[in-house]
Amino acid sequence: MFKTLLINTPAPAFTLPAEPGRQVSLEEFRGRPVVLAFYPADWSPVCGDQMALYRALRDEWDRLGAEVIGISVDGPWCHAAFRDARNLQLTLLADFEPKGAVSRAYGVYDHREGTSERALFVIDKDGIIRWSYLSPIGVNPGADGILEALEQLAQPEAAVARSAR
């Protein structure tokens, strides 16, 4: 059920492969908000898969100036095939070696399954976690919470009021 993870603390730094031969670091995005979407695995069998939903919302992320990044323990070649097959055009990072290290740093590694949990983090332009959400097992968390959190970040006073709650 609902857990608040690491709110108002600096987001743990990381560098992970995005695709074979390309590394991505969190700090590259300093200056604008970043959404980290941890998810268990590529090739989820449902339509309206979480990553497809985020891809479909690209106009909203652009409007809000945010970078949306998916992270799972799948390897970079797996991500590449998944991106191509689903026409995703999202940054997908491979938390592959050492396995799940970044997921663990964010407290969202499922030791029993050996995968990331479904968890969302909204990180502000200064690298501080401002919102997070751990989804119940098997439930795609959707995008409503992310949209709301990003919009609150765009309104500093509202964000302060919210984080004080």
Partner 1 sequence: MNAPSLHPPVGPEDHIQGSDDAEVTLVEYGDFECPYCGAAYPILKRVQQRLGRRLRFVYRHFPIAELHPHAEPAAEASESVAAQGGPDAFWPMHDLLFEHQRRLKYDDLARYAEQAGAQGDLVLNDLDEGRYRERVRESFMSGARSGVNGTPTLFIDGIRYDGPRDEEKLVAALTLVANQAGV
**Residues of this chain that bind partner 1 (CB under 8 A):** 1-2, 46-50, 52-53, 55-57, 60, 86-88, 139-144, 147-148
Interstrand relation of 129-134 and 119-123 (parallel, antiparallel or unpaired): antiparallel
The Cα–Cα gap between 123 and 132 comes to 9
The nearest distance, CB 143 to partner 1, in angstroms, is 5
Q: Between 118 and 130, name the residue whose CB sits nearer to partner 1.
A: 118
Q: Between 5 and 128, name the residue whose CB sits nearer to partner 1.
A: 5
Q: Is 47 a catalytic residue?
A: yes
28, two tokens: 């590259």
Indicate which residue of 2, 21, 46, 47 is catalytic. 47
The nearest distance, CB 139 to partner 1, in angstroms, is 6
Q: Between 100 and 141, name the residue whose CB sits nearer to partner 1.
A: 141
The Cα–Cα gap between 35 and 146 comes to 8
The Cα–Cα gap between 147 and 128 comes to 17
Under a CB-based contact definition with an 8 Å cutoff, are residues 39 and 137 in contact? no
As annotated, the active-site residues are 47
